């Protein structure tokens, strides 16, 4: 489509990128067909094509309004539209640019600012988050069901003894998962160790930066990302690790985006690119090892636990960050099938479950509608367990069902 972006903005890195992306859109509207918010609200401006148009108008000089901001806020950043678009429009990159410009021009209400600040302070402080969760877990039986469902039961930690292997990866724990579901990373360590890969950790490692980024705190996000790069870099420089990995695909996709976010930073651009290239989802690592005839090694874990007997029927929900963000499709299902599980499909697997980072808090109504649709599709057949690859989706889905919801790596412990 033709563009007429304000000249000053067109001189910036974001201006050049936005112009390129806008011009690649042919306005065909195919993307609307797979957009969850368009499906729910039926409003052109709550679909990707409409949002692209709103961003275009803003970058061309039209003053955005609260309504413009709301249409952009309602986007889940699920990137389903990117998977559908025949022209390869990089929608999420454009949305990031559009949101930043709109947020500079449309001040947030005091209540929104307060909510964003509380979310950032709570999630970014591992100590206060862990204290809140531990206290919530103690009083869980007495809490009203709406709050109770948001706090997972305390997980009894599985034991794991580290064994040194020549092959090493950096396993980044993230900010909240260790308090909520410590066994997910332990499961990763157990599986990788079986595959003769050792997981290194950097104790000070925290958030990947996506929380601040999605809550419009760009400066804070960049500080976090640069701090991560600085603390990971010595391992990379010494070639001590062959990959960086996180068990939450929502964080993984954020690391994949470091390259793009720091492309303009003379000090960090090259390092960010190296890190994004080095990042691997656990499924990519396990699938590559299975090609190297390591199936029997991890099957042994399943057989020891008799997990395949306990969980005969599995529904696998692929997080949007995995299937649309990192374009990792049909990798986990074959791993699970080869390990003896029966993995069943269900309708609308490509649609978001409504979790989407802090979306389940900031856009509760839409998030709950998406959750209800997701679970009703999954529950059309009986499953022993629902598995996924992202802590956010896992907890969000668990809040709406009595069927256990696990990370797929937890099936191995
Ligand atoms: S983003 Fe892609 S699918 Fe959507 S209107 Fe533009 S070209 Fe068409
Ligand atoms: S990212 Fe998801 S919610 Fe946002 S416009 Fe694209 S398909 Fe719709």
Say whether both 216 and 247 belong to one domain: yes
Distance 137 CA to ligand 2 centre (A): 34
> In whole numbers, what is the pLDDT of the chain averaged over residues?
91
Count CB neighbours of 398 within 10 A: 19
CATH code of the domain covering residue 356? 3.40.50.1860
Task: State the pLDDT at residue 309.
Answer: 66
Q: Are 353 and 359 in contact (CB under 8 A)?
A: no
Look at residues 282, 305, 331 and tell me which one is the last residue of a structural domain: 282
Close Cβ partners of 392 (under 8 Å, ≥ 6 residues apart): 248, 250, 319, 355, 356, 357, 360
What is the token pair recorded at 250? Answer: 């929502």
Residue 379, in any domain of the structure: yes
Say whether both 270 and 321 belong to one domain: no
Which range marks the domain in which residue 87 is found?
7-105
Say whether both 257 and 297 belong to one domain: no
Does residue 179's CB lie within 6 angstroms of at least one atom of ligand 2?
no
What is the token pair recorded at 194? Answer: 């079986």
Say whether both 276 and 316 belong to one domain: no
What is the token pair recorded at 322? Answer: 């995995």
Rounded to the nearest 10°, the torsion over CA 311, 316, 317, 320 is 140
Half-sphere exposure of 276 (CA within 13 A, CB side): 18
Give the number of whichever ligand sits closest to the CA of residue 92: 2
Go through 299-336 and write b for each residue having 16 or more CB atoms within 10 A of its CB, e for each that does not: bebbeeeebbeebeebbbbbbbbbbbbbebeebbbebb
Q: Per-residue pLDDT tens for 206-240?
A: 788 888 888 888 899 999 999 999 999 999 988 88
Residue from 31, 35, 52, 80 whose mutation best tests the ligand 1 pocket (most atoms within 8 A of CB)? 31
Say whether both 82 and 177 belong to one domain: no
Q: Are 264 and 15 in contact (CB under 8 A)?
A: no
Nearest CA-CA partner of 290 in 386, 198, 194? 194
Look at residues 237, 252, 282 and tell me which one is the last residue of a structural domain: 282
Residue 240, in any domain of the structure: yes
Say whether both 271 and 319 belong to one domain: no
Residue 204 has pLDDT above 70, yes or no: no
Say whether both 318 and 262 belong to one domain: no
Residue 209, in any domain of the structure: yes
Q: Name the pLDDT band for 198 (thresholds 50, 70, 90).
A: very high
Residue 158, in any domain of the structure: no
Give the number of whichever ligand sits closest to the CA of residue 51: 2
Closest atom, ligand 1, to C-alpha of 32? 4
Q: Per-residue pLDDT tens for 386-411?
A: 999 999 999 999 999 999 999 999 99
CATH code of the domain covering residue 88? 1.10.1060.10
Say whether both 243 and 305 belong to one domain: no
Question: If you write DSSP's letter for every residue of 310-339 in order, what string do you get?
Answer: H--EEEE---HIIIIIS---SSHHHHHHHT
Residue 2, in any domain of the structure: no
What is the token pair recorded at 346? Answer: 């269900």
Does residue 77's CB lie within 6 angstroms of at least one atom of ligand 2?
yes
Question: If you write DSSP's letter for every residue of 11-42 in order, what string do you get?
Answer: TSHHHHHHHHHHHH-----GGGGG-HHHHHH-
Give the number of whichever ligand sits closest to the CA of residue 359: 2
CATH code of the domain covering residue 187? 3.40.50
Q: Per-residue pLDDT tens for 108-137?
A: 999 999 988 888 888 777 777 778 878 887
Say whether both 268 and 298 belong to one domain: no
Task: State the pLDDT at residue 85.
Answer: 98
Ligand 1 lining (C-beta closer than 6 Å) = 25-31, 48-49, 85, 87, 89, 91
Chain position carrying tokens 């195919």: 30
Q: What percent of the chain stands above pLDDT 70? A: 98
Give the number of whichever ligand sits closest to the CA of residue 99: 2
Residue from 18, 24, 27, 75 whose mutation best tests the ligand 1 pocket (most atoms within 8 A of CB)? 27
- Would you call 341 helix, strand, or coil by DSSP? coil
Burial of 195 (0-12, 13-18, 19+ CB in 10 A): middle
Residue 110, in any domain of the structure: no
| Nearest CA owner, ligand 2 atom 8 | 35
Say whether both 319 and 375 belong to one domain: yes
How distant, in Å, are the alpha carbons of 87, 348, 353, 370 from that of 374?
Answer: 28, 8, 6, 6
Domains of the chain: total: 3
Residue 343, in any domain of the structure: yes
Look at residues 257, 282, 307 and tell me which one is the last residue of a structural domain: 282
Task: State the pLDDT at residue 145.
Answer: 72
Say whether both 401 and 332 belong to one domain: yes
Task: State the pLDDT at residue 357.
Answer: 87
Residue from 45, 89, 92, 324 whose mutation best tests the ligand 1 pocket (most atoms within 8 A of CB)? 89
Residue 56, in any domain of the structure: yes
Say whether both 324 and 264 belong to one domain: no
């Amino acid at each position: 489509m033709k563009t007429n972006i304000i000249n000053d903005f067109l001189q910036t890195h974001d201006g050049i990128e936005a112009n390129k992306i806008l011009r690649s859109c042919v306005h065909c509207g195919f993307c609307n067909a797979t957009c969850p918010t368009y499906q729910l609200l039926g409003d052109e401006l709550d679909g990707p094509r409409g949002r692209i148009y709103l961003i275009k108008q803003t970058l061309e000089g039209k003053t955005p309004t609260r309504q413009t901001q709301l249409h952009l806020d309602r986007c889940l950043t699920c990137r389903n539209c990117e998977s559908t678009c025949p022209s390869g429009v990089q929608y999420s990159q454009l949305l990031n640019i559009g949101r930043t410009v709109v947020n500079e021009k449309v001040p947030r209400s005091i209540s929104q600012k307060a909510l964003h600040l509380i979310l950032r302070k709570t999630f970014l402080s591992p100590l206060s988050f862990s204290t809140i969760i531990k206290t919530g877990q103690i009083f869980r039986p007495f809490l009203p069901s709406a709050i109770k469902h948001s706090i997972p039961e305390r997980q009894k930690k599985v034991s794991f003894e580290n064994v040194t292997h020549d092959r090493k990866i950096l396993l980044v724990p993230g900010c909240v998962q260790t308090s909520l579901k410590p066994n997910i990373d332990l499961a990763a360590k157990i599986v990788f160790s079986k595959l003769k890969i050792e997981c290194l950790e950097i104790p000070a490692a925290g958030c990947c930066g996506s929380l601040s980024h999605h809550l419009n705190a760009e400066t804070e996000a960049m500080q976090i990302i640069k701090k991560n790069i600085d603390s990971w870099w010595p391992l990379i420089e010494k070639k001590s690790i062959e990959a960086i990995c996180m068990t939450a695909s929502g964080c993984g996709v954020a690391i994949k985006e470091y390259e793009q976010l720091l492309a303009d930073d003379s000090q960090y651009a090259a390092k960010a690119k190296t890190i994004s290239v080095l990042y691997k989802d656990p499924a990519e690592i396990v699938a590559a090892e299975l090609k190297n005839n390591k199936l029997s090694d991890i099957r042994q874990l399943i057989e020891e636990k008799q997990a395949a007997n306990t969980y005969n029927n599995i529904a696998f929900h692929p997080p949007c960050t995995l299937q649309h963000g990192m374009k990792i499709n049909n990798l986990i299902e074959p791993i699970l099938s080869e390990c003896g599980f029966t993995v069943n499909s269900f309708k609308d697997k490509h649609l978001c479950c409504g979790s989407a980072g802090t979306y389940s808090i900031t856009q509760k109504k839409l998030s709950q509608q998406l959750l209800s649709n997701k679970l009703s599709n999954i529950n059309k057949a009986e499953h022993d367990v629902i598995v996924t690859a992202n802590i956010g989706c896992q907890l969000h889905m668990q809040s709406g069902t009595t069927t256990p919801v696990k990370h797929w790596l937890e099936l191995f412990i």
